[in-house]
């Protein structure tokens, strides 16, 4: 029992992050032979041959430690985005970068302002540092009030973290609002952290890329990942564009060999595949439109997003989730992410999306709904 006193008090009541159910887990639970995974916003399409070859070539050197500085990868990112190598940090996915970054920056009396709902790991990383998390609710349309975000900042606020587009609501902060917010935070010496995991899916001209914001203001941190549109979720590669003083602090606390050699090689190859990224974006948005239209025709309410997932409003979130599971389709209860009454559904391959549509149609009929 005395070991319980060793646990940090700030995390005693914290719920661990709940990832989407894996294919293997569901197969074991229900004895299914075929499962469709639409719960983690992954890129379901095959990787480019150049990336596959890079993975194969790098696998021949796994007896050696990877480059601890990931210099070649950081150089490739820097060249792609027009920044210096000293302004690039990398880690094992966005969460790896976030936890190390917060550890480098936060003291126990500091506050971090985030949205509610948003990606849960911001809160976990804050509490893991013994810092305080201030949550600002979105409105009933999932819109973000810049005034509310600014009002939430105090003399103890050190970071404001914005997922843009936001997960799970799928909306972004318009250009003018983001510029207003960043200017306010800069005057108050509060660091803006913008997580752009879904940035490559946004085509709306009102979206202000964090990289553009970084070039304009400088005193911001931009987080991105290779886990979404680039299709490298299993290799765990995330990165940040940060001011140079933060790079130095980050280097002191990051895990030394956080990004393995295969992941580094694959990410470098992926950065060169502009045509592939454009193709994935177009196919994903086309499939999203198809799924959205089909679900609306069934009488379901689908919330618009600027990501590779949709939000489906349901009367019985857990019941509909369980019903889909029994049919071999994994989606995400949005309540896992702080949003009740919705299912978050990733856009999959065409045949996976068709299976989702036909299964939902069957479930709706079972519930006595007219379609």
Supply the pLDDT for residue 369. Answer: 60
Burial string for 67-95 (b: 16+ CB within 10 Å, else e) reads eeebeebbebbbeebebebebbbbbbbbb
Rounded to whole angstroms, the Cα distance separating 189 from 199 reads 26
CATH class for the domain made up of 20-46+275-366 = alpha beta
Q: Which residues pair with 163 in a beta bridge?
A: 195
Residue whose token pair is 């400088």: 218
- Residue of 183, 192, 315, 167 whose CA lies nearest to 243: 192
CATH architecture of 49-272: 3-Layer(aba) Sandwich (3.40)
Q: Which residues of the chain have pLDDT under 50?
A: 370-371
Residue 230 · residue 43 · CB < 8 Å: yes
Residue whose token pair is 């150049």: 50
Q: What are phi and psi of 313, to 5 degrees?
A: -80, 130
Q: How far apart are the first and last CA of the chain?
A: 57
Supply the pLDDT for residue 368. Answer: 66
- Residue of 93, 44, 48 whose CA lies nearest to 288: 44
Residue 267 · residue 232 · CB < 8 Å: yes
DSSP assignments along 183-229, one per residue: HHHHHTT-EEEEE-TTGGG---TTB--HHHHHHHH-SEEEEEESSST
Domain ranges of the chain: 20-46+275-366, 49-272
Structure tokens at 246: 């933060």
- Residue of 185, 268, 181, 193 whose CA lies nearest to 223: 193
Structure tokens at 61: 């050197």
- Residue of 212, 234, 232 whose CA lies nearest to 222: 212
Cα–chain center distance at 23: 20
pLDDT digits (tens, 9 = 90+) for 76-106: 999 999 999 999 999 999 999 999 999 999 9
Supply the pLDDT for residue 3. Answer: 80
pLDDT digits (tens, 9 = 90+) for 343-365: 999 999 999 999 999 999 999 88
- Residue of 183, 188, 149 whose CA lies nearest to 166: 149
């Amino acid at each position: 029992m005395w070991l319980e006193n060793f646990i940090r008090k700030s995390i005693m009541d914290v719920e661990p992050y709940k990832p989407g159910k894996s294919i293997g887990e569901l197969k074991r639970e229900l004895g299914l032979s075929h499962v469709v995974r639409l719960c983690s916003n992954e890129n379901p399409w095959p990787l480019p041959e150049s990336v596959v070859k890079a993975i194969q070539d790098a696998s021949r050197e796994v007896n050696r430690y990877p480059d601890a500085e990931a210099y070649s990868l950081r150089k490739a990112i820097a060249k792609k985005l027009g920044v210096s190598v000293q302004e690039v940090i990398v880690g094992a996915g966005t969460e790896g970068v976030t936890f190390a970054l917060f550890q480098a920056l936060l003291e126990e009396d500091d506050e971090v302002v985030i949205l509610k709902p948003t990606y849960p790991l911001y809160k976990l990383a804050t509490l893991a540092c013994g810092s305080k998390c201030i949550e600002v609710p979105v409105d009933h349309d999932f819109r973000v009030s810049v005034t509310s975000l600014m009002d939430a900042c105090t003399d103890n606020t050190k970071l404001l973290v914005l997922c843009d587009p936001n997960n799970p609501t799928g909306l972004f902060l318009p250009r003018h609002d983001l510029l207003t917010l960043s200017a306010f935070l800069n005057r108050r010496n509060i660091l803006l952290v913008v997580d752009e995991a879904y940035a490559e899916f946004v085509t709306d001209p009102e979206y202000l890329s964090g990289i553009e914001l970084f070039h304009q203001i400088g005193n911001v941190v931009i987080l991105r990942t290779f886990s979404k549109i680039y299709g490298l979720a299993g290799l765990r590669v995330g990165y940040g564009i940060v001011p140079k003083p933060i790079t130095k602090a980050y280097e002191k606390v990051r895990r030394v060999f956080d990004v393995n050699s295969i992941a580094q090689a694959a990410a470098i190859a992926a950065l060169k595949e502009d045509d592939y990224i454009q193709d994935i974006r177009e196919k994903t948005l086309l499939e999203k439109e198809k799924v959205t239209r089909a679900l609306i025709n069934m009488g379901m309410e689908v919330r618009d997003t600027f990501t590779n997932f949709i939000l489906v409003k349901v009367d019985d979130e857990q019941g509909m989730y369980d019903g889909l599971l029994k049919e071999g389709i994994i989606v995400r209860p949005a309540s896992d992410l702080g949003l009740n009454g919705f299912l978050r559904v990733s856009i999959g391959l065409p045949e996976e999306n068709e299976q989702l549509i036909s299964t939902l149609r069957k479930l709706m009929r079972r519930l006595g709904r007219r379609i």
